[in-house]
Chains A and B, each alone.
Chain A
Amino acid sequence: MVAEITLVAQLKNKQTKEIAFRELIKQYKERLYWHIRKIVVSHDDADDVLQNTFIKIFNNIDKFNEQSKLFSWMYRIATNESITFINKRAKERNLDISDYQQHLASTLESDDFFTGDEIQVILQKAIATLPQKQQLVFNMKYFDELKYEEISEILETSVGGLKASYFHAVKKIEHYIKNNSH
């Protein structure tokens, strides 16, 4: 694994940019894919957003401010791309963003690339009922097990605010599961 600082330097150099970029995709594709997938739900949409995310990274690497971590910067781009994407989809269908997300969760049972059981569907439906920010924080903390400091850098929010968001998210999900499972 190439160190982040070396990778950034190579990415900013025209001669090494392509090789370094291939390395960058190799290192981060899975983490970014799963982050995007939890937001947009379907695999095809996740694939679209992942590609757009990397292309944005490729085109904007010169603007990357080395004060923040490359990883957080890429996560932020992936998050923004995903949210822009589902907003666009909701608008196309004339739906409110939260209605659209509930609709997405209801498609899971028939999704070939969703292998979860009944209770996992319930959890996804519970997540879909949360406000956007709480959804993001919950997924990053519960599934990706990121630290509050990392999430804070990605979402550009204070650690205190994130902790409160996560607390509310967990309580609502607990409540939802209790009401919807037997």
Chain B
Amino acid sequence: MNKELKNSENYIISKVGKNNPFSVPKGYLNNVESNIFSKINEDSLPVSSGFDTPANYFKELEDSILEKVSSTKKETKVISLKDRILKVVPFAAAASIILFIGLNTFVFNQNNEISIDNLTESDIEYWLNNSDINDSDIALVLDDDILEENGFSLTNLKDENIEEYINSIDNSSLLNEIN
């Protein structure tokens, strides 16, 4: 047995060796003492928090909680699922009819609402041409601020563009006006 053991042992040693394959973080072993002493000091702190409870508090806790639970407990009625569903059916039917009507009315109303956006341009043109509306009526509707100078696209024109335009047109009429 001894020889067999020696052979097997030698086989393992030749294959793996006896080196310790584990290592430790740098400096770890130097700090072991202080780590342990700080833990011992921690352990020597009082374990008790100093809080206390009235005598028999924990002993009577279950009873007092159970008592409260049972005094508010009501007899539970057993309702079968079928009864429940049958009870709900008429309400569900009524609700769905109301919903159907309600939705329809809502959609109908919405379609009949008149807004300026719904009118086509030709409708407006037709109306303007056929009603006796005059300039003073329009002036009454338009606010003064709409007619401000800056309201016209003219103000956005660049000087070069105006110059170019003046150069490009027959300006004899303009000259006549200045004269």
Question: A-side interface residues toward B, CB under 8 Å?
Answer: 18, 22, 25-26, 29-30, 33-34, 37-38, 43, 47, 50-51, 54-55, 58, 113-117, 119-124, 142-143, 166-167, 170-171, 173-174, 177, 181
A34:B20 contact, CB within 8 angstroms: yes
Question: What per-residue 1/0 map shows which CB atoms of B1-35 lie under 8 Å from chain A?
Answer: 10011001101100111111111110011001101
Distance between Cα atoms of A171 and B33 in the complex (Å): 39
Shortest Cβ distance from B38 into chain A, in angstroms? 10
Distance between Cα atoms of A29 and B20 in the complex (Å): 16
Q: Which secondary structure dominates where chain B touches chain A? A: helix
Q: Which residues of B contact A114 (CB under 8 A)?
A: 21-23
A173:B12 contact, CB within 8 angstroms: yes
A30:B33 contact, CB within 8 angstroms: no
Distance between Cα atoms of A33 and B8 in the complex (Å): 28
Shortest Cβ distance from B37 into chain A, in angstroms? 7
Q: Which residues of B contact A142 (CB under 8 A)?
A: 9, 12, 18
Partner of A30 from the list B5, B17, B29, B39 (CB cut-off 8 Å) is: B29
Q: Which secondary structure dominates where chain A touches chain B? A: helix
A174:B8 contact, CB within 8 angstroms: yes
Residue B43 interfacial (CB < 8 Å)? yes
CB-nearest residue of chain B relative to A174?
B8
Question: B-side interface residues toward A, CB under 8 Å?
Answer: 1, 4-5, 8-9, 11-12, 15-25, 28-29, 32-33, 35-37, 39-40, 43
Q: Which residues of A contact B17 (CB under 8 A)?
A: 120
A34:B12 contact, CB within 8 angstroms: no
Distance between Cα atoms of A30 and B9 in the complex (Å): 25
Q: Which residues of B contact A22 (CB under 8 A)?
A: 33, 37
A-B contact count (CB 8 A): 86
Distance between Cα atoms of A143 and B19 in the complex (Å): 8
Partner of B29 from the list A29, A116, A124 (CB cut-off 8 Å) is: A29
A-B contact sample (8 more), CB < 8 A, given A143-B18, A167-B5:
A29-B33, A33-B32, A116-B22, A119-B16, A123-B16, A170-B8, A171-B4, A181-B15
Name, among A33, A121, A122, the residue most crowded by chain B CB atoms within 10 Å (CB to CB): A33
Q: A51-B35, A55-B40, A167-B5 are in contact. Are A113 and B18 (CB under 8 A)?
A: no
List 7 A-B pairs, minimum CB-CB distance, nearest first: A116-B21, A120-B21, A174-B8, A29-B32, A170-B8, A123-B16, A113-B23
CB-nearest residue of chain B relative to A54?
B36
B24:A43 contact, CB within 8 angstroms: yes
B36:A177 contact, CB within 8 angstroms: no
Distance between Cα atoms of A167 and B5 in the complex (Å): 6
Shortest Cβ distance from A28 into chain B, in angstroms? 10
Distance between Cα atoms of A29 and B22 in the complex (Å): 16
Partner of B12 from the list A117, A167, A170 (CB cut-off 8 Å) is: A170
Q: A119-B16, A170-B5, A174-B12 are in contact. Are A33 and B24 (CB under 8 A)?
A: yes
Q: Which residues of A contact B39 (CB under 8 A)?
A: 51, 55
A174:B11 contact, CB within 8 angstroms: yes
Shortest Cβ distance from A22 into chain B, in angstroms? 6
Distance between Cα atoms of A147 and B17 in the complex (Å): 19
Name, among B5, B8, B43, the residue most crowded by chain A CB atoms within 10 Å (CB to CB): B8
Sample (14) of A-B pairs whose CB atoms are under 8 Å apart: A26-B33, A29-B29, A30-B29, A33-B29, A33-B32, A43-B22, A47-B35, A58-B36, A115-B23, A117-B21, A120-B21, A143-B20, A167-B4, A167-B5
